[in-house]
Structure 1
Amino acid sequence: MTTPSPPALTEPISSAADLARFWAALMGDGGFGRRTLWLVLLDDEGRPVPTVVPVDDVPEVPSAADVDSFGQFFDHLDGYGTPVLLLSRPGPPAVRAEDRQWGRALAGLAPRWPVHLATEDAAGRCVVTPLG
Protein backbone atom coordinates (compact mmCIF):
# COMPACT_ATOMS: atom_id res chain seq x y z
CA MET A 1 0.00 0.00 0.00
CA THR A 2 1.36 3.43 -0.88
CA THR A 3 0.63 6.66 0.91
CA PRO A 4 -0.57 9.40 -1.42
CA SER A 5 1.59 12.50 -1.67
CA PRO A 6 0.18 15.79 -0.42
CA PRO A 7 -1.19 17.82 -3.34
CA ALA A 8 1.54 20.45 -2.89
CA LEU A 9 4.10 17.80 -3.89
CA THR A 10 2.42 16.76 -7.12
CA GLU A 11 0.58 19.81 -8.47
CA PRO A 12 2.15 21.95 -11.19
CA ILE A 13 4.25 24.85 -9.95
CA SER A 14 3.41 28.05 -11.81
CA SER A 15 4.27 30.78 -9.30
CA ALA A 16 6.78 31.61 -6.58
CA ALA A 17 4.02 30.99 -4.00
CA ASP A 18 3.43 27.49 -5.45
CA LEU A 19 7.15 26.79 -5.18
CA ALA A 20 7.27 27.94 -1.54
CA ARG A 21 4.29 25.64 -0.73
CA PHE A 22 6.04 22.76 -2.49
CA TRP A 23 9.24 23.23 -0.47
CA ALA A 24 7.31 23.54 2.81
CA ALA A 25 5.42 20.30 2.06
CA LEU A 26 8.59 18.49 1.03
CA MET A 27 10.63 19.63 4.04
CA GLY A 28 7.85 18.84 6.53
CA ASP A 29 8.25 19.58 10.21
CA GLY A 30 11.34 19.00 12.25
CA GLY A 31 14.76 20.49 12.30
CA PHE A 32 17.75 20.36 10.05
CA GLY A 33 20.96 18.97 11.49
CA ARG A 34 23.22 20.08 8.66
CA ARG A 35 23.45 22.55 5.81
CA THR A 36 22.01 20.87 2.71
CA LEU A 37 21.31 22.02 -0.83
CA TRP A 38 18.18 20.41 -2.29
CA LEU A 39 17.55 20.06 -6.03
CA VAL A 40 14.28 19.10 -7.70
CA LEU A 41 13.51 19.23 -11.40
CA LEU A 42 10.22 20.44 -12.82
CA ASP A 43 8.90 18.87 -16.01
CA ASP A 44 7.56 20.86 -18.97
CA GLU A 45 4.18 21.24 -17.21
CA GLY A 46 5.78 22.48 -13.99
CA ARG A 47 5.24 19.22 -12.10
CA PRO A 48 8.04 18.10 -9.78
CA VAL A 49 9.71 14.90 -10.98
CA PRO A 50 9.75 12.23 -8.24
CA THR A 51 13.48 12.52 -7.56
CA VAL A 52 14.96 14.79 -4.91
CA VAL A 53 18.73 15.34 -4.85
CA PRO A 54 20.17 16.43 -1.50
CA VAL A 55 23.76 17.63 -1.32
CA ASP A 56 24.72 17.43 2.36
CA ASP A 57 27.24 19.45 4.31
CA VAL A 58 27.67 22.31 1.86
CA PRO A 59 29.99 24.98 3.29
CA GLU A 60 28.64 27.99 5.15
CA VAL A 61 29.69 30.30 2.31
CA PRO A 62 29.91 29.22 -1.34
CA SER A 63 33.31 29.40 -2.99
CA ALA A 64 33.80 30.04 -6.69
CA ALA A 65 34.78 26.36 -7.03
CA ASP A 66 31.51 25.27 -5.35
CA VAL A 67 29.44 27.40 -7.70
CA ASP A 68 31.44 26.18 -10.70
CA SER A 69 30.94 22.53 -9.67
CA PHE A 70 27.20 22.98 -9.25
CA GLY A 71 27.07 24.79 -12.59
CA GLN A 72 28.79 21.87 -14.33
CA PHE A 73 26.40 19.44 -12.67
CA PHE A 74 23.38 21.51 -13.76
CA ASP A 75 24.73 21.58 -17.32
CA HIS A 76 24.39 17.77 -17.35
CA LEU A 77 20.72 18.10 -16.40
CA ASP A 78 19.87 20.13 -19.50
CA GLY A 79 16.85 18.53 -21.15
CA TYR A 80 15.69 16.71 -18.01
CA GLY A 81 13.73 19.58 -16.49
CA THR A 82 13.97 22.99 -14.89
CA PRO A 83 15.94 23.01 -11.62
CA VAL A 84 14.53 24.49 -8.43
CA LEU A 85 16.77 24.86 -5.38
CA LEU A 86 16.47 25.14 -1.63
CA LEU A 87 19.15 25.55 1.02
CA SER A 88 18.34 24.13 4.47
CA ARG A 89 20.31 24.67 7.65
CA PRO A 90 19.98 24.34 11.40
CA GLY A 91 19.18 27.41 13.41
CA PRO A 92 16.59 30.15 13.56
CA PRO A 93 14.71 31.42 10.51
CA ALA A 94 16.35 34.84 10.26
CA VAL A 95 18.11 35.05 6.89
CA ARG A 96 21.85 35.44 7.41
CA ALA A 97 24.45 37.06 5.16
CA GLU A 98 25.85 33.65 4.19
CA ASP A 99 22.34 32.46 3.23
CA ARG A 100 22.06 35.44 0.89
CA GLN A 101 25.47 34.61 -0.59
CA TRP A 102 24.20 31.12 -1.41
CA GLY A 103 21.00 32.58 -2.82
CA ARG A 104 22.85 34.96 -5.14
CA ALA A 105 25.32 32.27 -6.24
CA LEU A 106 22.61 29.70 -6.98
CA ALA A 107 20.22 32.16 -8.63
CA GLY A 108 22.69 32.50 -11.49
CA LEU A 109 22.61 28.73 -12.04
CA ALA A 110 18.83 28.33 -11.93
CA PRO A 111 17.52 31.81 -12.80
CA ARG A 112 13.90 30.97 -13.57
CA TRP A 113 12.80 30.34 -9.97
CA PRO A 114 13.75 31.88 -6.62
CA VAL A 115 16.14 29.98 -4.37
CA HIS A 116 14.58 29.24 -0.98
CA LEU A 117 15.89 28.72 2.54
CA ALA A 118 14.41 26.20 5.00
CA THR A 119 14.98 26.58 8.73
CA GLU A 120 12.81 26.08 11.78
CA ASP A 121 10.97 28.43 14.10
CA ALA A 122 11.07 28.30 17.91
CA ALA A 123 8.35 25.62 17.90
CA GLY A 124 10.33 23.43 15.49
CA ARG A 125 8.10 24.07 12.48
CA CYS A 126 9.66 24.40 9.05
CA VAL A 127 9.96 27.96 7.76
CA VAL A 128 10.56 28.45 4.02
CA THR A 129 11.86 31.86 2.92
CA PRO A 130 12.87 33.09 -0.56
CA LEU A 131 16.54 34.08 -0.76
CA GLY A 132 15.99 36.54 -3.59
Structure 2
Amino acid sequence: MVVRGQQDLQRLWELLMAPLGFSARSLWVTFLDPDGRPLPQLLEVGELPDEAADEGVQGLFELLTHVLGEGLDGLGVAFLVVRPGRAGLVEDDRRLARSLLTAAREAGIVCHPVHVADDLRLLPVTPDDLAA
Protein backbone atom coordinates (compact mmCIF):
# COMPACT_ATOMS: atom_id res chain seq x y z
CA MET A 1 0.00 0.00 0.00
CA VAL A 2 1.22 3.49 -0.85
CA VAL A 3 -0.04 6.45 1.16
CA ARG A 4 -0.63 9.40 -1.15
CA GLY A 5 -2.90 11.42 1.13
CA GLN A 6 -5.07 11.49 4.22
CA GLN A 7 -7.63 8.99 2.89
CA ASP A 8 -4.90 6.43 2.14
CA LEU A 9 -3.45 6.95 5.61
CA GLN A 10 -6.87 6.51 7.19
CA ARG A 11 -7.32 3.26 5.23
CA LEU A 12 -3.89 2.05 6.42
CA TRP A 13 -4.85 2.69 10.05
CA GLU A 14 -8.22 0.97 9.50
CA LEU A 15 -6.47 -2.11 8.12
CA LEU A 16 -3.94 -2.17 10.96
CA MET A 17 -6.47 -1.65 13.76
CA ALA A 18 -9.43 -3.77 12.60
CA PRO A 19 -11.59 -4.61 14.37
CA LEU A 20 -11.98 -1.43 16.40
CA GLY A 21 -12.35 -1.77 20.16
CA PHE A 22 -9.78 -0.69 22.73
CA SER A 23 -9.30 -1.33 26.44
CA ALA A 24 -7.05 1.66 27.16
CA ARG A 25 -5.92 4.94 25.63
CA SER A 26 -2.67 4.59 23.69
CA LEU A 27 -0.71 6.13 20.85
CA TRP A 28 0.35 4.17 17.77
CA VAL A 29 3.26 5.36 15.63
CA THR A 30 4.27 4.30 12.14
CA PHE A 31 6.68 5.68 9.58
CA LEU A 32 6.29 6.32 5.86
CA ASP A 33 9.19 6.47 3.43
CA PRO A 34 9.47 9.44 1.02
CA ASP A 35 7.40 7.51 -1.56
CA GLY A 36 4.57 6.95 0.94
CA ARG A 37 5.28 3.30 1.67
CA PRO A 38 4.82 2.34 5.32
CA LEU A 39 7.81 0.80 7.06
CA PRO A 40 7.17 -2.55 8.76
CA GLN A 41 7.68 -1.05 12.22
CA LEU A 42 4.57 -0.19 14.23
CA LEU A 43 5.11 1.19 17.73
CA GLU A 44 2.61 1.47 20.56
CA VAL A 45 3.02 3.95 23.39
CA GLY A 46 0.73 2.32 25.90
CA GLU A 47 -1.71 3.63 28.46
CA LEU A 48 -1.58 7.36 27.86
CA PRO A 49 -3.05 9.51 30.60
CA ASP A 50 -6.27 11.27 29.68
CA GLU A 51 -4.33 14.49 29.37
CA ALA A 52 -0.99 13.73 27.72
CA ALA A 53 1.52 16.34 28.84
CA ASP A 54 3.61 18.29 26.34
CA GLU A 55 6.71 17.03 28.18
CA GLY A 56 5.74 13.46 27.35
CA VAL A 57 5.36 14.33 23.68
CA GLN A 58 8.75 16.07 23.69
CA GLY A 59 10.24 12.97 25.31
CA LEU A 60 8.70 10.79 22.61
CA PHE A 61 10.31 12.87 19.86
CA GLU A 62 13.65 12.88 21.64
CA LEU A 63 13.45 9.09 21.83
CA LEU A 64 12.46 8.76 18.16
CA THR A 65 15.28 11.00 16.96
CA HIS A 66 17.80 9.28 19.27
CA VAL A 67 16.83 5.72 18.35
CA LEU A 68 16.35 6.32 14.65
CA GLY A 69 19.07 8.94 14.34
CA GLU A 70 19.95 9.53 10.73
CA GLY A 71 17.33 6.97 9.75
CA LEU A 72 14.68 9.68 10.13
CA ASP A 73 15.97 11.56 7.09
CA GLY A 74 13.20 11.58 4.54
CA LEU A 75 10.80 9.58 6.68
CA GLY A 76 7.41 10.86 7.71
CA VAL A 77 5.73 9.91 10.95
CA ALA A 78 2.04 9.10 11.41
CA PHE A 79 0.16 8.90 14.72
CA LEU A 80 -3.07 7.24 15.75
CA VAL A 81 -4.63 7.92 19.16
CA VAL A 82 -6.89 5.06 20.30
CA ARG A 83 -9.18 4.82 23.29
CA PRO A 84 -12.20 2.94 24.54
CA GLY A 85 -15.64 4.46 24.25
CA ARG A 86 -17.84 6.03 21.61
CA ALA A 87 -17.27 9.73 22.17
CA GLY A 88 -15.72 10.55 18.80
CA LEU A 89 -13.14 13.33 18.78
CA VAL A 90 -12.74 14.99 22.20
CA GLU A 91 -10.70 17.94 23.44
CA ASP A 92 -7.93 15.70 24.86
CA ASP A 93 -7.49 14.25 21.35
CA ARG A 94 -7.22 17.73 19.85
CA ARG A 95 -4.71 18.79 22.50
CA LEU A 96 -2.56 15.71 21.92
CA ALA A 97 -2.72 16.15 18.13
CA ARG A 98 -1.61 19.79 18.48
CA SER A 99 1.31 18.73 20.72
CA LEU A 100 2.39 15.98 18.30
CA LEU A 101 2.27 18.30 15.28
CA THR A 102 4.15 21.06 17.12
CA ALA A 103 6.85 18.68 18.34
CA ALA A 104 7.27 17.21 14.85
CA ARG A 105 7.62 20.68 13.34
CA GLU A 106 10.20 21.67 15.99
CA ALA A 107 12.14 18.44 15.37
CA GLY A 108 12.06 18.97 11.60
CA ILE A 109 10.12 15.73 11.06
CA VAL A 110 7.37 15.39 8.47
CA CYS A 111 4.16 14.55 10.33
CA HIS A 112 1.18 13.16 8.47
CA PRO A 113 -2.37 13.91 9.68
CA VAL A 114 -3.05 12.60 13.18
CA HIS A 115 -5.95 10.14 13.40
CA VAL A 116 -8.15 9.11 16.34
CA ALA A 117 -10.04 5.85 16.87
CA ASP A 118 -12.60 4.82 19.44
CA ASP A 119 -14.71 1.66 19.58
CA LEU A 120 -16.91 2.77 16.65
CA ARG A 121 -14.89 4.80 14.18
CA LEU A 122 -11.50 5.99 13.04
CA LEU A 123 -11.18 9.54 11.77
CA PRO A 124 -8.62 12.25 11.00
CA VAL A 125 -8.02 15.27 13.18
CA THR A 126 -8.63 18.03 10.63
CA PRO A 127 -7.26 21.59 10.64
CA ASP A 128 -10.74 22.77 11.70
CA ASP A 129 -10.63 20.32 14.62
CA LEU A 130 -7.23 21.66 15.65
CA ALA A 131 -8.52 25.24 15.59
CA ALA A 132 -11.52 24.42 17.79
The number of equivalent residue pairs is 117
1:97 aligns with 2:96: no
RMSD: 1.5
User: Take 1:129 and 1:107, find their aligned partners in 2: how far apart are those partners?
Assistant: 16
CA contact (8 A) 1:93 1:118 kept: no
Match of residue 27 from structure 2? 37
Gaps of 5+ in 1: 1-10, 122-126
Q: 1:30-109 to 2 correspondence within 5 Å?
A: 30-76=20-66, 77=68, 78-80=70-72, 81-109=75-103
Q: Per the alignment, do residues 19 and 95 of structure 1 end up closer, same or farther by CA in structure 2, a change over 3 Å counting?
A: same
Whose helix proportion is higher, 1 or 2?
2
User: Take 2:60 and 2:20, find their aligned partners in 1: how far apart are those partners?
Assistant: 27
Which AA in structure 2 matches 1:50?
P
Residue 62 of structure 1: CA displacement? 1.6
Q: 1:116-131 to 2 correspondence within 5 Å?
A: 116-121=115-120, 127-131=121-125
Q: Per the alignment, do residues 89 and 17 of structure 1 end up closer, same or farther by CA in structure 2, a change over 3 Å counting?
A: same
Q: Percent identity?
A: 32
CA contact (8 A) 1:34 1:90 kept: yes
CA contact (8 A) 1:13 1:19 kept: yes
Q: Per the alignment, do residues 75 and 109 of structure 1 end up closer, same or farther by CA in structure 2, a change over 3 Å counting?
A: same
User: Take 1:100 and 1:120, find their aligned partners in 2: how far apart are those partners?
Assistant: 18
1:112 aligns with 2:111: yes
User: Take 1:69 and 1:26, find their aligned partners in 2: how far apart are those partners?
Assistant: 25
- Any idea what the Cα deviations from partners look like across 1:53-93, whole Å, max 9, x if unmatched? 00110111121221210121232335342111110000004
Q: TM-score, normalised by structure 1?
A: 0.81
CA contact (8 A) 2:31 2:38 kept: yes
User: Take 2:114 and 2:17, find their aligned partners in 1: how far apart are those partners?
Assistant: 14
User: Take 1:34 and 1:45, find their aligned partners in 2: how far apart are those partners?
Assistant: 33
Match of residue 129 from structure 2? none
Q: TM-score, normalised by structure 2?
A: 0.81
